Structure 1
Amino acid sequence: MIGPVWLHLALIAFTAAAFGSAPALARPTLPFGVRVPARRSREAVILLARRRYNRGIGAAAIAACAVVLLGWLAFEAVLVGLVVVCSLLGGLAQRSIVAAKRKEGWYAGTRQAVATDTSLRSDPVRPQWILLAPAVLLAVATAVVGLFAGAASFSTIVAQVLVIGLVALMTVAISRARPEIDAAQPSASASRYREYLHGVLGLLLISAGCVNATLLVVSLQLWDVAETTVPVTIVAYLPIATAFIAWIGFSVRAGDAGHRLPPTGDEPETRHEQRDDDRHWYAAGMIYVNRDDPALLVHRRVGTYWTLNLGHPVAWLVLVAVAVAGVLTGFGVVALPTKGG
């Protein structure tokens, strides 16, 4: 009883910390996904929104812990409720900033522009494909062990191959996604983005190896080559935990789109502000819809990741493919790894 309760409390604390850290990691000009001029990034309404948001997250986490300890609701319902409450708090903070920006005309008299780095096409950030080699070798090793062990099911090997293919596709897509360049500091932001993109691509390829390492140990357990004990299970999920910690560390160090990274050289700010395009962003900067934008992938305004441009026809094909795969898995057409095959 004590173990699961403490695990539930830890998951609640992690969820609250994840939501609470998002505003701190965001770019100063994108509080809660709202584009603001750099000179307005310390406005009282923004600071007040952050304080209210942090207090609300803390109160929601305390309430969730109390409900779990008292056993009033199932943990799954409590966790979903916490996510919903945190999301609503973020939405309220966003609306307050948007209202103040429109009422006070923060962009009035500013010169808005968009900057780009053409060298990313002539001299792109090239993925270090050698980092994908461990994932491939681990998949081969898993297949060899399965053949010698007389495995009845190779579902984990299929999963490893899918991980390699998916990570390779994501690496190519992200490396070609629209770069995040600030018109106020085009050269400095371009150098930061290059370093940021290099780190993201490297971590992505390394993470594929971590996932396949976990699948290798899981395969040994499924094929009764290794016993399903607590130590073996810990070893199985240690690679994924390591990759997860590495992503957290990188996100804290680099910041949103690499804005915390030191630029190469000094550059005075221009007289331009990054173009205000809030009308294309929804859900506090997490959903992007722009039919006039040819980019398929764009960097989200919140977090260290990209999102699909839902105004692009290909984006809907991707979503349909994911939905079909989910339905097939739900009906058992695509089998997931289970004990005994």
Structure 2
Amino acid sequence: MIGPVWLHLALIAFIAAAFGSGPALARPTLPFGVRIPAGRVGEPAIALARRRYNRGVTAGAVAACAVVLSGWTARIDLVIVGLGVLYAVLGSLAHRTVAAAKRDGDWYAGTRQAVATDTSLRSDPVRPQWILLTPSVLLATVTAVIGLANDTASFSTVFAQVLVVVLVSLLTFAISRARPEIDAARPSRSASRYREYLHGVLSLLLVSAGCVNATLLVVSLQLWEVIETTVPVTIVAYLPLLAASIAWLGFSLKSGDAGHRLSPADGEPETRYEQRDDDRHWYAAGMVYLNRDDPALLVHRRVGTYWTLNLGHPVSWLVLAAVAVVGVLAGFGFVALPSKGG
């Protein structure tokens, strides 16, 4: 992965900013993936974990930039991987720090724990705006027509576009019916926030499918030599992906993790309950969920704007097996991937 030094520095800055903003966007009662009572969000141990994490993120970014500026750019991919591993370790250490303070201080002692749900999300669910999927379908159709007109064209990119449409449709349907994130301390307010948050996620997901297929259209034209492969054309090809990334970033900054930064319409007073402590079902610093007693297939991760599979659900293993099979087939060449010259 060889390219301009400024591009490598920009990539390092982006990764550092993404990891560094994580704690700020996380729900206050889930610092570094640890569930805590609302009254404990100002604990010194949490502030200490954040300071150590932020210093580590900054130090890692500075070290990576120093390596790039020293002239070692031939294996920038190793620098990026190393930086990602470092940040993952820092997050795990911060998670352990907060979890230890919670355990030693018995933060949930004397609290009344509960779980809240919003039945209106079943009777009146957030319905995906399927019309937003139209551009991705049209772009795939246009690409297929151009490919048919070009006798030497390979349809690997067209298959990729169709796969994008199918996968995004399935993911949108699954997320719209995933278990909602409702806080027992303020159930009405959190339900209102989650509904607004879910609407934004589903809309962005469908729009992003169109952005991906727009990029694949230009890539197809380059592979089929319908248009010349030049730097300006390549830049134009990836502009839709850049636009989608900026949109997701802006939405994440506005909404926060699971929409906790959104402003609900009501001023609901806080209840006497705390959200149930379910740390025992979460692993890898809040990244992996396993609960055989939970019927939910998809649950919102404790870190980031996305969902994860409940590994305690049998269907989740079927999904993982299907992904593994596709990966193996692609590795052995049975599934064609887009490449220069088809």
- Partner-residue secondary structure (3-state), 2:302: coil
* Cα deviations by residue, 1:219-254 (Å, 9 ceiling, x for unpaired): 111111111011111111111110011000000000
Structural mapping, 1:59-208, within 5 Å: 59-71=59-71, 74-208=75-209
How far residue 147 of structure 1 moved from its aligned partner, in angstroms, is 1.5
- Partner-residue secondary structure (3-state), 1:209: helix
* Cα deviations by residue, 1:76-107 (Å, 9 ceiling, x for unpaired): 22211111111111111111111111111110
Q: What CA distance in whole angstroms lies between the structure 1 residues aligned with 2:191 and 2:241? A: 31
Q: Write the letter of the residue equivalent to 2:245.
A: F
How far residue 72 of structure 1 moved from its aligned partner, in angstroms, is 5.3
How far residue 4 of structure 1 moved from its aligned partner, in angstroms, is 2.5
How far residue 327 of structure 1 moved from its aligned partner, in angstroms, is 1.1
Q: What CA distance in whole angstroms lies between the structure 1 residues aligned with 2:258 and 2:152? A: 44
TM-score under structure 2 normalisation? 0.97
- Partner-residue secondary structure (3-state), 2:4: helix
* Cα deviations by residue, 1:187-225 (Å, 9 ceiling, x for unpaired): 000000000000000000000011111111111111111
Identify the residue that residue 273 of structure 1 maps to in structure 2: 274
Unaligned regions of 5+ residues in structure 2, if any?
A: none
Q: What CA distance in whole angstroms lies between the structure 2 residues aligned with 1:75 and 1:220? A: 29
Q: What CA distance in whole angstroms lies between the structure 2 residues aligned with 1:141 and 1:199? A: 28
Identify the residue that residue 216 of structure 1 maps to in structure 2: 217
**Alignment check: 8 A CA contact 2:53 2:91 kept:** yes
Runs (4+) off by over 4 Å: none
Question: Which one is further off, 7-16 or 24-33?
Answer: 7-16
* Cα deviations by residue, 1:292-320 (Å, 9 ceiling, x for unpaired): 11111000000000000111111111111
Identify the residue that residue 339 of structure 2 maps to in structure 1: 338
Q: What CA distance in whole angstroms lies between the structure 2 residues aligned with 1:101 and 1:40? A: 9
How far residue 2 of structure 1 moved from its aligned partner, in angstroms, is 9.8
Structural mapping, 1:44-55, within 5 Å: 44-55=44-55
Q: What CA distance in whole angstroms lies between the structure 2 residues aligned with 1:314 and 1:39? A: 37
Q: What CA distance in whole angstroms lies between the structure 2 residues aligned with 1:273 and 1:223? A: 59
Q: Write the letter of the residue equivalent to 1:296.
A: L
Q: What CA distance in whole angstroms lies between the structure 2 residues aligned with 1:165 and 1:114? A: 34
1:286 aligns with 2:287: yes
* Cα deviations by residue, 1:259-290 (Å, 9 ceiling, x for unpaired): 00011211000000000000111111111011
Q: Write the letter of the residue equivalent to 1:10.
A: A
Identify the residue that residue 22 of structure 2 maps to in structure 1: 22
How many residues of Structure 1 are paired with residues of Structure 2 in the alignment?
Answer: 341
Q: What CA distance in whole angstroms lies between the structure 1 residues aligned with 2:113 and 2:49? A: 25
Q: What CA distance in whole angstroms lies between the structure 2 residues aligned with 1:2 and 1:175? A: 41
Q: What CA distance in whole angstroms lies between the structure 2 residues aligned with 1:280 and 1:36? A: 15
- Partner-residue secondary structure (3-state), 1:55: helix
Q: Write the letter of the residue equivalent to 1:300.
A: R
**Alignment check: 8 A CA contact 2:26 2:304 kept:** yes
Q: Write the letter of the residue equivalent to 1:24.
A: A
How far residue 71 of structure 1 moved from its aligned partner, in angstroms, is 4.0
How far residue 146 of structure 1 moved from its aligned partner, in angstroms, is 1.3
- Identity percentage of aligned residues: 78
Question: Which one is further off, 151-160 or 289-298?
Answer: 151-160
Q: Write the letter of the residue equivalent to 2:130.
A: W
- Partner-residue secondary structure (3-state), 1:101: helix
Q: Write the letter of the residue equivalent to 2:42.
A: R
How far residue 185 of structure 1 moved from its aligned partner, in angstroms, is 0.3
Q: What CA distance in whole angstroms lies between the structure 2 residues aligned with 1:17 and 1:5? A: 18
How far residue 145 of structure 1 moved from its aligned partner, in angstroms, is 1.2
CA RMSD of the aligned region, Å? 1.3
Q: What CA distance in whole angstroms lies between the structure 2 residues aligned with 1:169 and 1:267? A: 35
* Cα deviations by residue, 1:165-194 (Å, 9 ceiling, x for unpaired): 000000000000000000000000000000
